[in-house]
A and B are shown apart, each in its own frame.
Chain A
Amino acid sequence: MTKQQANWSPYDNNGGSCVAIAGADYCVIAADTRMSTGYNILTRDYSKICKLADKCVMASSGFQADVKALQKHLAARHLIYQHQHNKQMSCPAMAQLLSNTLYYKRFFPYYSFNVLGGLDNEGKGCVFTYDAVGSFEKVGYSSQGSGSTLIMPFLDNQLKSPSPLLLPAQDAVTPLAEAEAVDLVKTVFASASERDIYTGDKLEIIVINADGIRRDYMDLRKD
């Protein structure tokens, strides 16, 4: 007699893709707005992006209930930080907090695949990419979610990140202009929507630069 297994899972995958690209003085964060379960669409209009601090934005794909809980947790911790330090959290600081928060639930994880984007204290773009349990790395660009395997090779090709093993250490941020980076993101999502069933409907693009945070939308395929 075989052991009885649970046929109920606490997790679900709501699909979707996220991308972030760091520039010399800007950061672009984008995600589609489709939320699905199985082969059904729950809504075409759900934002996967959350502003955590003045110059720090997180995009997450995966199980949106866990994403929502994670966003709430980080927002609360940020508020406490502001009360204690009388300033906003910097992007690298939030990056470390997110990593620790995720690892705290190492044995019942947040099913959340995150990219964090923003400006560091010098105003330079920075992007951090995570796995579900908090392993993170500062990179020049990243994508997560159902379309990430389709998107990453093309970003590699266009943004040609230098190897992290080279000496002297080279900057990972792209020399592209802000408008070019936004165009690249739009191209990449248009391609991903063609071949990934979980990506589509609308694209939400956030651009962070010295002037502040700007939000743009673009229509994607609805099929």
Chain B
Amino acid sequence: MQIFEYNGSALVAMVGKNCFAIASDRRLGVQLQTIATDFQRISKIHDRLFFGLSGLATDAQTLYQRLVFRHKLYQLREERDMKPETFANLVSALLYEKRFGPYFCQPVIAGLGDEDKPFICTMDSIGAKELAKDFVVAGTASESLYGACESMFKEDMEPEELFETVSQALLSSVDRDCLSGWGGHVYVVTPTEVKERILKGRMD
């Protein structure tokens, strides 16, 4: 039994023109059995910063609670929101604290930094950051997502086209992975608004 494949997950974040998209599947399973079909894997830290956690769901929930706590403290002390780069460092530090007994999660972080420049990154379970200019993927469907995103990605996509691309990449990839699926959850974030959409895909 692989611990990273216990619950099943698919996460992707993609950069567009002054915007980004972050998307996940909606399945929560316990090995072969599906427990929930509306599981939220992506959370909002503030209007310009989102992150998703793939891997073991219990660790994802704990990490989420710890990170929200740390961000709220930061907001009280600094009287402002955290920048995405700073938040990524925070997540990396929290994960590396547990270097010899890690959280079994792979985070995907996406946000709008200074001058509305989109920022995305992913990490392994002990906090090694991977910054990317185009897209990042995580979860049991990650190999399929790499293939689909690599073929479909274009530079400087507008929000509507970015949404279409991310949705097609996500749905095609989870259809080839038994442990993820049951629809999709896509957030497209521009400097002015956040659009949340639910995708209907193969419900298996």
A residues contacting B by CB (< 8 A) are: 147, 149-154, 156-157, 187-188, 191-192, 194-195
Q: Are A156 and B147 in contact (CB under 8 A)?
A: no
Q: A187-B151, A188-B151, A191-B150 are in contact. Are A157 and B172 (CB under 8 A)?
A: yes
Which residues of chain B have a CB within 8 Å of any CB of chain A?
143-148, 150-152, 168-169, 172-173, 175-176
The reply to whether A153 and B150 form a contact with Cβ atoms under 8 Å apart is: no
- List 29 A-B pairs, Cβ < 8 Å: A147-B147, A149-B143, A149-B147, A149-B176, A150-B143, A150-B146, A150-B148, A150-B150, A151-B147, A152-B144, A152-B176, A153-B145, A153-B147, A153-B172, A153-B173, A153-B175, A153-B176, A154-B147, A154-B151, A154-B152, A154-B172, A156-B175, A157-B148, A157-B152, A188-B151, A191-B151, A194-B150, A195-B146, A195-B147
Chain A residues near B168 (CB-CB < 8 A) = 157
Closest to B174 in A: A153
In the bound complex, do residue B172 and residue A150 qualify as a contact, i.e. CB atoms below 8 Å apart?
Answer: no
Q: A156-B172, A157-B172 are in contact. Are A149 and B144 (CB under 8 A)?
A: yes
How long is the Cα–Cα vector from A173 to B152 in the complex, in angstroms? 23
Q: How far is the CA of A150 from the CA of B144 in the complex (A)?
A: 5
Which residue of B is nearest A156, CB measured?
B172
Chain B residues positioned under 8 Å from A192 (CB to CB): 147, 150
For A195, the chain B residues whose CB sits under 8 A away are 146-147, 150
A residues in contact with B150, CB < 8 Å: 150, 191-192, 194-195
Look across to chain B and name the residue whose beta carbon is closest to the beta carbon of A147.
B147
A152 to B169, CA, bound (A): 12
User: Which 7 A-B pairs have CB atoms at the shortest separation, nearest pair first?
Assistant: A150-B147, A191-B150, A149-B143, A153-B172, A157-B172, A191-B151, A195-B146
**Which residues does chain A contribute within 8 Å of B172, judged by CB atoms?**
153-154, 156-157
Please name all residues of chain A whose beta carbon is closer than 8 Å to the beta carbon of B145 when the two chains form the complex: 153
Q: How far is the CB of B175 from chain A (nearest CB, A)?
A: 6
In the assembled complex, the CB of A43 is this many whole angstroms from the nearest CB of chain B, namely: 25
Q: Are A152 and B151 in contact (CB under 8 A)?
A: no
Q: How far is the CA of A29 from the CA of B145 in the complex (A)?
A: 24
- Per the bound structure, the CA–CA distance linking A186 and B136 in Å amounts to 23
B148–A154 touching, CB < 8 Å:
yes
Residues of A within 8 A of B148 (CB): 150, 153-154, 157
Centre residue among B144, B150, B168 by max chain A CB count within 10 A? B150
Q: How far is the CA of A154 from the CA of B152 in the complex (A)?
A: 8
Measured CB to CB, the closest approach of chain A to B136, in angstroms, equals 12
Most buried by A among B151, B173, B175: B151
A156 with B176: CB separation less than 8 A: yes
